[in-house]
């Protein structure tokens, strides 16, 4: 690491979010397609084309990493790997490695409009295994060399991830319950395990190779059409993950590898007991000793995949809620100081060393209870914050989520993936708050609450407006993506092409143009 650190560079430089623009929030699994969930196939390219036709220049997605419990992309076994469920199976067929049709008894008739992950996940994994066997049998020398090169160039994260997945498949338990030599990272035991599961290591590497290639093609396609990709980086990682297993010294763990304290947020008006997320907390003091090398590598990896990156739970970098691991709720936690400016100086240094003239373009997810210290840190770093209009109508005209109170360096939303749809929100809203909404937006909101909210955001000074596709389509709460704290039944919504009506597309394009948001973020 360089001994000289430049002064912190504003992570949102002149190249990104420098002019008024507009985009849509839609995760890749929500795309249509024949294999039970959206992926990196033809529908993703078609959606980019639709964004262009609707005058949009940003596509916001959720984390690309493999899903964890409840199929959540925010509880992943790796912060570096790509989600195997997103691999385009048809591309593997075109390569000649995957039979065109699965066996008749293993070809589920997946319903449109929902990701039935309990059926989709095993089906897709089976097809990926078939593709790997096809690759082993018929791949060309050039393809084998390409895979070998990928494994070598990405070894800094890929080797550990592939071994973690192979051992998970073998033992079927959390890593803290594996045999002690494997749990504790004994080099001889790991080498022996690697020899015993070479095919599995190659299989998991093969999946990541295809994912990264497919994603790079989609990213290039979007950029060529003026569409920027806005990604998402969860602040915390899952305990059962390659990240924690490989780097236990960076996390608050006991001698057996179990967390001593976990992440969450304290009680508030949303929850009397707070939220206990359960992720192990970082040992920021240890991370600082090598200049936050793990974070530098993580952000460098993610910034190769997207144009802009949303940092989830930004307030945790200033101070975070630490809950003793034995406590069942978040009530008995306490605040601890986060890494603050030092982490972002290291990240700016990494971006500088990688040859960028500006630093990584980052957006701060600064929702919830935000102290003046959090706001000061964000402003020191030049990051745009977030505003969600569904939060705007609880008190007075000074509410920071009301559009007339926005600052220009803002990414504004009707709602996020964690909120109800605008129509669903309106249907559940108490009448006193409805009256405040009507007073602000006008009495016509009862007929089209979603368009009234989107219109108000689009007219605001916020540099970027991001609209969930469910709101563009006017869908109710049955189409909600996630309910925070609900472990099952989330992340399943999908749309179908007939829902993208021509009148809604035209209306979105005309609104975007009328409010001066029709230029690409990438211009």
Instruction: Find the mean pLDDT for residues 96-113.
Output: 76
Whether 508 has a pLDDT exceeding 60, the answer reads yes
pLDDT at res. 105? 55
pLDDT tens track for 332-382: 999 999 999 999 999 988 877 766 656 678 999 999 889 999 999 999 998
pLDDT at res. 485? 79
Instruction: Find the mean pLDDT for residues 489-506.
Output: 96
pLDDT at res. 478? 96
Instruction: Find the mean pLDDT for residues 150-178.
Output: 96
pTM over 0.85: yes
Instruction: Find the mean pLDDT for residues 278-306.
Output: 96
Whether 4 has a pLDDT exceeding 50, the answer reads no
Whether 16 has a pLDDT exceeding 70, the answer reads no
The answer to whether the CB of 1 falls within 8 A of the CB of 290 is yes
Instruction: Find the mean pLDDT for residues 395-405.
Output: 93
From residue 291, alpha-carbon distances to 104, 191, 233, 296 in Å are 54, 29, 19, 8
Look over the chain and give the mean of its residue pLDDT values, rounded to a whole number: 92
Active-site residues, by number, are 312, 365, 418
pLDDT at res. 158? 98
Give the C-alpha separation, 429 to 126, whole Å. 44
**Helix residue spans in 184-239 (DSSP H):** 187-196, 198-224
Whether 15 has a pLDDT exceeding 70, the answer reads no
pLDDT at res. 272? 83
Q: Name the least confident of 116-120, 124-128, 261-265, 395-399.
A: 395-399
pLDDT at res. 1? 39
Give the C-alpha separation, 509 to 22, whole Å. 10
DSSP 8: P
The answer to whether the CB of 16 falls within 8 A of the CB of 389 is no
Whether 9 has a pLDDT exceeding 50, the answer reads no
Give the 3-state secondary structure of residue 58. strand
pLDDT band at 102 (very low <50, low <70, confident <90, very high): low
Six-digit token string for 422: 């605008």
pLDDT at res. 11? 47
Q: Is 294 exposed, middle or buried (0-12, 13-18, 19+ CB in 10 A)?
A: middle
Instruction: Find the mean pLDDT for residues 399-413.
Output: 95
pLDDT at res. 355? 65
Give the C-alpha separation, 331 to 501, whole Å. 47
pLDDT at res. 348? 87
**Helix residue spans in 69-116 (DSSP H):** 89-94
pLDDT at res. 142? 97
Q: Is 238 exposed, middle or buried (0-12, 13-18, 19+ CB in 10 A)?
A: buried
Question: Which residues have a Cβ under 8 Å from the Cβ of 14 and sit 6 or more positions away?
Answer: 358
**CA proximity to 343, closest of 310, 294, 302:** 294
Give the C-alpha separation, 384 to 125, whole Å. 39
Instruction: Find the mean pLDDT for residues 502-522.
Output: 93
pLDDT at res. 116? 94
pLDDT tens track for 17-68: 778 999 999 999 999 999 999 999 999 999 999 999 999 999 999 999 999 9
Give the C-alpha separation, 30 to 373, whole Å. 37
Whether 6 has a pLDDT exceeding 90, the answer reads no
Share above pLDDT 90 across residues of the chain, in percent, rounded to a whole number: 85
Q: What's the CA angle centered on 357, arms 351 and 362, to 5 degrees?
A: 50
Domains of the chain: 21-127+211-383+493-514 (3.20.20.80)
pLDDT at res. 108? 73
Whether 404 has a pLDDT exceeding 90, the answer reads yes
Q: Name the least confident of 76-85, 190-199, 314-323, 351-360.
A: 351-360
Whether 103 has a pLDDT exceeding 80, the answer reads no
Q: What's the CA angle centered on 351, arms 345 and 353, to 5 degrees?
A: 100
pLDDT tens track for 203-244: 999 999 999 999 999 999 999 999 999 999 999 999 999 999
Higher pLDDT, 354 or 77: 77
pLDDT at res. 502? 96
């Amino acid at each position: 690491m360089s001994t000289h650190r430049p002064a912190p560079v504003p992570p949102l430089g002149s190249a990104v979010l420098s002019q008024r623009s507009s985009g849509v929030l839609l995760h890749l699994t929500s795309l249509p397609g024949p294999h039970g969930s959206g992926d990196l196939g033809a529908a993703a390219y078609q959606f980019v084309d639709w964004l262009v036709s609707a005058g949009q220049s940003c596509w916001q997605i959720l984390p690309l990493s493999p899903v964890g419990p409840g199929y959540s992309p925010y509880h992943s076994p790796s912060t570096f790997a790509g989600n195997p469920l997103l691999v385009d199976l048809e591309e593997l067929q075109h390569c000649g490695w995957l039979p065109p049709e699965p066996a008749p008894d293993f070809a589920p008739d997946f319903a449109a409009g929902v990701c039935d992950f309990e059926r989709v996940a095993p089906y897709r994994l089976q097809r990926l295994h078939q593709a790997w066997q096809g690759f082993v049998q018929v791949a060309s020398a050039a393809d084998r060399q390409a895979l070998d090169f990928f494994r070598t160039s990405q070894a800094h994260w890929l080797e550990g991830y592939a071994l973690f997945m192979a051992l998970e498949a073998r033992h079927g338990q959390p890593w803290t319950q594996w045999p002690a030599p494997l749990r504790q990272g004994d080099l001889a035991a790991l080498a022996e395990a690697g020899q015993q599961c070479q095919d599995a290591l190659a299989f998991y590497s093969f999946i990541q190779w295809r994912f990264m290639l497919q994603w790079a093609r989609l990213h290039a396609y979007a950029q060529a059409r003026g569409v920027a990709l806005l990604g998402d980086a969860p602040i915390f990682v899952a305990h059962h993950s390659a990240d924690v297993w490989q780097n236990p010294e960076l996390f608050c763990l006991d001698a057996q590898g179990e967390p001593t304290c976990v992440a969450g947020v304290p009680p508030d008006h949303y929850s009397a007991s707070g939220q206990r997320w359960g992720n192990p907390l970082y040992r920021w003091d240890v991370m600082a000793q090598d200049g936050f090398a793990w974070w530098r590598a993580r952000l460098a990896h993610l910034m190769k995949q997207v144009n802009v990156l949303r940092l989830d739970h930004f307030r945790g970098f200033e101070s975070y809620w630490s809950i003793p691991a034995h406590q069942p709720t978040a009530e008995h936690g306490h605040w601890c100081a986060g890494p603050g400016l030092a982490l972002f100086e290291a990240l700016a240094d990494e971006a500088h060393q990688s040859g960028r003239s500006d630093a990584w373009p980052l957006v701060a997810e600064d929702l919830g209870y935000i102290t003046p210290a959090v706001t000061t840190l964000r402003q020191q770093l030049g990051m745009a914050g977030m505003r969600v209009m569904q939060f705007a109508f609880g008190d007075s005209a000074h509410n920071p989520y009301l559009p007339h109170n926005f600052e220009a360096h803002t990414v504004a939303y009707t709602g996020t993936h964690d909120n109800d749809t605008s129509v669903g929100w309106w249907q559940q809203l108490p009448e006193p708050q409805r009256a405040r909404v009507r007073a602000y937006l006008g009495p016509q909101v009862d007929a089209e609450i979603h368009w009234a909210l989107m219109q108000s955001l689009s007219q605001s000074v916020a540099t970027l407006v991001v609209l969930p596709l469910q709101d563009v389509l006017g869908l109710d709460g049955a189409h909600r993506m996630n309910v925070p704290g609900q472990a099952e039944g989330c992340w399943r919504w999908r749309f179908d092409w007939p829902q993208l009506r021509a009148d809604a597309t035209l209306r979105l394009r005309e609104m975007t143009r009328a409010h001066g948001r029709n230029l690409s973020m990438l211009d």
